[in-house]
Amino acid sequence: MQVTLPYHLRNLARVEGDVRLEIAAPVTLRAVLDALEARYPTLRGAIREHDTGKRRPFLRFFACQEDWSLESMDAELPEAVAAGREPLLILGAIAGG
């Protein structure tokens, strides 16, 4: 599957373009973030808080043009995302300059 990161997180991970991850089913937000942080440890704490695992307030998750920010971390992402045809988008909320 593919994850699209915002500019600053791409810089932290030192990647260009989308990140590709191999994740066994079921593909959930939690599984994706676990795999992302395991592969790119510099992202730990920058997307979700260390101890609570809560999404940082100014970050949002989108999949197949739907807002997944408030969905359960254990809900299965759309099949198109799990199959890699659509990316999971991690976006910074528009706030400030």
In the complex, least distance from residue 42 CB atom to another protein, rounded to whole angstroms? 5
Sign of CA dihedral 33, 36, 39, 44: negative
Instruction: Pick the closest to residue 13 from 35, 58, 50 (CA basis).
Output: 35
Closer residue to another protein in complex, CB, 64/91: 91
In the complex, least distance from residue 95 CB atom to another protein, rounded to whole angstroms? 7
In the complex, least distance from residue 19 CB atom to another protein, rounded to whole angstroms? 13
Residues of this chain that interact with another protein (CB under 8 A) are 6-9, 12, 14, 38-39, 41-42, 44-47, 49-51, 56, 58-59, 92-93, 95-96
Closer residue to another protein in complex, CB, 42/72: 42
Helix, strand, or coil (residue 49): coil
Closer residue to another protein in complex, CB, 37/71: 37
Instruction: Pick the closest to residue 69 from 60, 81, 79, 82 (CA basis).
Output: 60
Radius of gyration for the chain, computed over Cα atoms and rounded to the nearest angstrom: 12
